[in-house]
Structure 1
């Protein structure tokens, strides 16, 4: 036995590794294990980094590079520390994906760089915040030049030994794990590395080319997601700007467009992305741009899905009814003596047709030539209300003809048959007694019949005394619309998204806002928010630590406020039980619009709703966007202080003018919120209200169908006094707002600053009353319980209480019949 053991030991000694009978036959079917380099910052000092990466056992990296000026670094000069051999697996990447590689710890080299960014989650106040809101708020320091020089030398050395690492595979931790990480931050010098021959970057000329292309039309959200994925990012194509997508876009911006770090899919971001694809993945960009052109062409094709006018039809009807006299006929809305028709021949040969308006045949040319547009006035044929059109006798028999009729516009006629002396006298009496000012605009049957300014846009000094030279009110004065923002910005945007089938009102909000889960949120829908039945408190004073939910809900940062609304603000009542008017609900709706469209709320409504209608004065944050000569109706005399009685960090104490008054909108949302922040004029609001009377369009611009409109203005299941977003007259239940004469179908809204909109489809009547009633001194009184109450003097005047003004306007319109 002893002999056998000795023999075995001797055999093992003789056949060690260097003497095994192995012959090397290299296979061509192999490559390097290392496919990527991932760069991190440690967010801690050198000593803390060593402790965390070497001793604690939780994470590691292949290399660590300190920075100058770190008191915990005791060496005379900077040097690189290797913590893990390159062929070994360091624990640095975690759950991550890049260019379809998962488990990047197995396929990458990780380099930690000491750079102590301070982010919200560095203390307890940030414990609930998402990585995306953190990255937009972090304080990122510049990198040490000596440190970066060492990094460049190390990277060149690694790349020489690992030639399979593609330039696009030198990435940051945020690139491979955008939902969790935001290092190495937006101040990391990626471009400097590229100029040293390391990593990817786009060419300026190519980016400018795509900038010009995308200025005409942005890629769809789905296409942007596909492009991010094609480059390597872990994006999933959903067509919705969900949390993953926004985090991925922000990670991309930190790497390639740090000067434009906003978390949105905008022109600059997409131009850089497609320029990178063209340089490094040319076959992919060809496919993506082919899809872009196809989507753009589809979006510009005349069709019912993408119509621009109220009637946009090809005749004869494609699907014929067995009821003969329902074919080739349509209705359209018009006003007597107004309207026009446009006719086009989409074929290749001349055609002829007979067209009848309200039973009268139009005198048209014998033939309509191909590629020729024809336009005719209908002023001799139209009536006020519903009109009929019939098209027949189209020749040749297989030909088609395209007919379109634009929506009615608002006409400024100032018809002298209307008598507004009583309403003028009431407002002027209030002005004489101290009310600051107002603008009243009335439209009836598509015509502006009264548009007048009263009093002053700026009447009082901060101490409540009258100015020596008060600023007169003018008909083009801009007003802070306050809660009229809810309907003329947020609700219109929601309606537009419903029309485009990008939003369904009755599926859970978490389908669009994945983090909106738990504590009763899972069952909530957009409908609950629109009807104020989600169970949310009327408001949360985010702007001060003294809010009713406590200092953890203090925020004067829009990203943090949005995150608190999505993940932390509790439901205070069971949803669907009753209406409880809530600014918080509309703040969430504004976030929903941003998430679905990929645009900030103000950009979306200004570019997609207002601009096509020719509205240039309807904006958020107007002092940043409009000329300095623009006139504004002033609001509170001493900012948000109630004559010095209220105080919190950054509170304004000057007379407000051209800045949104609402504290949540101004301080906590930087002026852009779903519940407040929109400024406009009476004239531009009249056009928006005419769009609603028209059933969803104005002129040659279509936003939504009558079917969508009816969903929003009809009574909700919660209350007859509310639709979806809109308030309703409800047979006099809100006569203090809509007056005693409003029809049951009347809808509109009010705004805390003193603004009112009344839209009455039955009487084809619009009343826009804009006042600056909060531009008055504060009055102090005691309630029955002995508690101090603070009221603005402007609230005591009839003009500031709406109902009487509305009643007198109705009488001026309705009495005109006699």
Structure 2
């Protein structure tokens, strides 16, 4: 018998031990993906997946591949998971088909390891696969947290920056010509690609003149979200409670408030049978705004009347709750969709009843703070924030510049206090329909929870089935879910843009806020403005039409549309044409309103867009952008526009050159002369002669952005020709010497 030396035997035994802990190999050596596998210090409790393999579903059936494969949400370049092996010496572990060496976990039965899978993840659905358990009775537990938002660039997710830069120009110019302020946050494929701020926290004095001493908005400035509160406080709370089985959307309101009954004299009956679902669908029968806060309001006519005492008047929460219970229906439930604040005031109260907490305490402590969100809350002035940390809203309280009055009405500029009257006067600033403040970055991360499937990092708030139930189209209208706005088929393009997917959801707020969540494009957009922090245009003609309403930023849908162009098209020529078209459309609107109360304000908004066209010409320095800017300026006829404004635009455009030349004065040429033309836009200059038979010309050299053009005399002495470059007007006159 051949004797194997002890040293060699030791090597053989060691190798055997190593390979016994590794995956079984069939016909070739195992090839592992290099993945850090480290002992976990802690394991999050809120997970998108918590499975034990084999047979993660807990039983065996004939759907064979399903038993050992599992899909989860992740993004490219991101992701970890946690594993714990029990009585398992080896197994083959794959993420998206890439095998990962988890032998360290197999060697240490019962201990949890953290596996960095960021090198193998893709955007969207990812697949975990586990095979070849040795022994077959071994187990492996897998825990997968939800994705978290990371900071990055637009280019990293395939977005073109040209359109995003145009958004910056549009908003900045709007502010220049009279708009208030804004924040914009964009998350694409789990990456925060844009988080920007514009304007000042308080744009106007109470007399309507522009302020010059206001602090600039930062990305940390808090905005009054108005009705976006309905989604990101009340709906999130309801989705969590439904997911946990503590509430059903089919529950009747009377389960929580038995006193919610029809009045003896109510013309329309049905309150006792109303369900939470009908309330969230805004088809419960309530009026849009019964103005509980207004001491003189006619509930029958649903309008203010100084000669009528409001039978539902209240300016304290306890009384307001009773007033809500006593509010009569104005149409038969289920027969109409009428957007109503009452619906969400009631839902907020139900959240408080179920949880035993005030609404702000519940959402802040169970959702926002666990996510690490420090800039989203109710009543910020009571929670460590100062006035200058908040974007102001109405200039003269709730008076609409003196057009509105009621008992205890605020008259100072509102800053850090919720603007909404029912939330402030009736609900101590905390209501299910309004009252939430946030910055765009934190709110965008909160929106991401919907794309993640109900959680964020190590926090699970609700499940996918609950999201599906709340966001699917309601029976009556494709543009509504349970509270959520839906795009449907071109249902809300003026908010979400024409390229948003049918399943896009979001909401709008009266103060000038918009949220958009597009699952197909894995996109979140949050646009926060305080457009009502501006004077009323004419409070006698319309006591709800503010100067800020007329600017492009305030129309909300333009910004999402440009974002989709950044994702889908990236065509500079198309963007240039769109800028020109926006000017044309705004001027069309102006001409229709020229003799109306808002005509002058619309003209100011038109100036902003013309400025954007000129700014783009200054930035791009191309013949096309110059031509479009020239066209934009031409639409400002001096009979309607301020001549000094037009002159300034023309001066700026005249200074736009796509090139520079080493020779700018008229010259006399004997024989030949060479020009150095430097391109400023990255494109080859177009060199031409005004009179073709005086000189011949040729490009003789190129060095970087410098182009050398040589002209040679072909005519008699004294003849002349103009020299032109890129069609931007004559550079000089060359005379034969």
Measured against the shorter chain, the TM-score band is 0.5 to 0.7
Which whole-Å CA distance do the structure 1 matches of 2:543 and 2:316 have between them?
30
Aligned to 1:388: 127
CA displacement at 1:765 relative to structure 2: 1.0
Aligned to 1:7: none
CA displacement at 1:383 relative to structure 2: 1.4
CA displacement at 1:488 relative to structure 2: 0.4
Aligned to 2:501: 743
Aligned to 1:765: 523
CA displacement at 1:731 relative to structure 2: 1.7
SS in 1 for 2:311: helix
CA displacement at 1:433 relative to structure 2: 0.7
* Aligned with residue 527 of structure 1, among 245, 253, 277: 277
Deviations 1:433-463, CA, capped at 9 Å, x for gaps: 1001101111111111121111111111111
Q: Residue 220 of structure 2 contacts residue 375 of structure 2 at CA under 8 Å; is this kept in 1?
A: no
Shift of the 328–582 alpha-carbon distance from structure 1 to 2, 3 Å rule, reads same
Q: Residue 174 of structure 2 contacts residue 553 of structure 2 at CA under 8 Å; is this kept in 1?
A: yes
Matches within 5 A, 1:5-20: none
Q: Residue 351 of structure 1 contacts residue 369 of structure 1 at CA under 8 Å; is this kept in 2?
A: no
741-750 or 365-374, which moves further after superposition?
365-374
Q: Residue 148 of structure 2 contacts residue 456 of structure 2 at CA under 8 Å; is this kept in 1?
A: yes
Deviations 1:677-708, CA, capped at 9 Å, x for gaps: 00111111111111111111111111111111
Deviations 1:24-65, CA, capped at 9 Å, x for gaps: xxxxxxxxxxxxxxxxxxxxxxxxxxxxxxxxxxxxxxxxxx
* Aligned with residue 329 of structure 1, among 57, 60, 69: 69
Which whole-Å CA distance do the structure 1 matches of 2:408 and 2:63 have between them?
70
Aligned to 2:437: 679
SS in 2 for 1:448: strand
Matches within 5 A, 1:281-320: 308-317=46-55, 318-320=58-60
SS in 2 for 1:472: coil
Which whole-Å CA distance do the structure 1 matches of 2:337 and 2:484 have between them?
13
Q: Residue 418 of structure 1 contacts residue 449 of structure 1 at CA under 8 Å; is this kept in 2?
A: no
Shift of the 743–370 alpha-carbon distance from structure 1 to 2, 3 Å rule, reads same
Which whole-Å CA distance do the structure 1 matches of 2:571 and 2:172 have between them?
26
SS in 1 for 2:500: coil
Shift of the 472–684 alpha-carbon distance from structure 1 to 2, 3 Å rule, reads same
CA displacement at 1:809 relative to structure 2: 1.6
CA displacement at 1:816 relative to structure 2: 4.7
Q: Residue 729 of structure 1 contacts residue 746 of structure 1 at CA under 8 Å; is this kept in 2?
A: yes
Aligned to 1:637: 395
Shift of the 460–368 alpha-carbon distance from structure 1 to 2, 3 Å rule, reads farther
SS in 1 for 2:271: coil
SS in 2 for 1:477: coil
506-515 or 742-751, which moves further after superposition?
506-515
| 1:490 counterpart = 2:234 | yes
Aligned to 1:162: none
CA displacement at 1:320 relative to structure 2: 1.1
| 1:653 counterpart = 2:411 | yes
* Aligned with residue 332 of structure 2, among 574, 596, 599: 574
Q: Residue 536 of structure 2 contacts residue 543 of structure 2 at CA under 8 Å; is this kept in 1?
A: no
Q: Residue 49 of structure 2 contacts residue 144 of structure 2 at CA under 8 Å; is this kept in 1?
A: yes
> Mind listing any 5+ residue stretches in structure 1 that lack a counterpart?
1-301
356-365 or 472-481, which moves further after superposition?
356-365
Aligned to 1:456: 200
Q: Residue 387 of structure 2 contacts residue 416 of structure 2 at CA under 8 Å; is this kept in 1?
A: no
Matches within 5 A, 1:87-102: none
Which whole-Å CA distance do the structure 2 matches of 1:782 and 1:776 have between them?
16
TM-score, with structure 1 as normaliser = 0.60
CA displacement at 1:368 relative to structure 2: 4.4
Matches within 5 A, 1:470-549: 470-518=214-262, 519-549=269-299
Which whole-Å CA distance do the structure 2 matches of 1:531 and 1:377 have between them?
42
Shift of the 782–654 alpha-carbon distance from structure 1 to 2, 3 Å rule, reads closer
Aligned to 1:805: 559
CA displacement at 1:742 relative to structure 2: 0.7
Which whole-Å CA distance do the structure 1 matches of 2:62 and 2:491 have between them?
46
Which whole-Å CA distance do the structure 2 matches of 1:485 and 1:698 have between them?
20
SS in 2 for 1:658: coil
| 1:361 counterpart = 2:99 | yes
RMSD between superposed Cα atoms in Å = 2.0
> Mind listing any 5+ residue stretches in structure 2 that lack a counterpart?
1-41, 263-268, 300-308, 573-737
* Aligned with residue 551 of structure 1, among 310, 320, 324: 310
CA displacement at 1:370 relative to structure 2: 4.0
CA displacement at 1:351 relative to structure 2: 4.6
Aligned to 1:616: 374
Shift of the 667–696 alpha-carbon distance from structure 1 to 2, 3 Å rule, reads same
Which whole-Å CA distance do the structure 2 matches of 1:727 and 1:636 have between them?
26
Deviations 1:366-419, CA, capped at 9 Å, x for gaps: 524244221121122111111111123334433322111211111110234531
Aligned to 2:683: none
Shift of the 816–343 alpha-carbon distance from structure 1 to 2, 3 Å rule, reads farther
Greater length-normalized contact order (CA 8 Å, ≥ 6 residues apart): 2
Aligned to 2:175: 431
TM-score, with structure 2 as normaliser = 0.67
CA displacement at 1:339 relative to structure 2: 1.0
Aligned to 1:418: 160
Deviations 1:607-649, CA, capped at 9 Å, x for gaps: 1111111112211111001243761110000111111222222
| 1:587 counterpart = 2:326 | no
CA displacement at 1:718 relative to structure 2: 2.2
Q: Residue 409 of structure 1 contacts residue 698 of structure 1 at CA under 8 Å; is this kept in 2?
A: yes
| 1:705 counterpart = 2:463 | yes
